[in-house]
Amino acid sequence: MFKQFVHSLQGDEIYMLLSLFIFLAFFIGATIAMLRMKKSHLEYMSDIPLNEENANSN
């Protein structure tokens, strides 16, 4: 079935399918990377914007 679908694609449809696969691969990869991170690293990264030690006062 997938083979028939690929053979019926014309012109720009191949680019749309390729962009969909790239989009899905990126977000699946980002999700896997996020799930594999240590909880301590995530807590450290979430506290960075609230950290007063390195704040610049203008």
Residue 15 binned pLDDT confidence (cut-offs 50, 70, 90): confident
Which pLDDT belongs to residue 7? 77
- The domain segmentation of the chain, as residue ranges, is 2-49
String of b and e for 21-49 (b: at least 16 CB within 10 Å)? Answer: eeeeeeeeeeeeeeeeeeeeeeeeeeeee
Residues 20-46 have pLDDT tens digits of 999 999 999 999 999 998 989 888 888
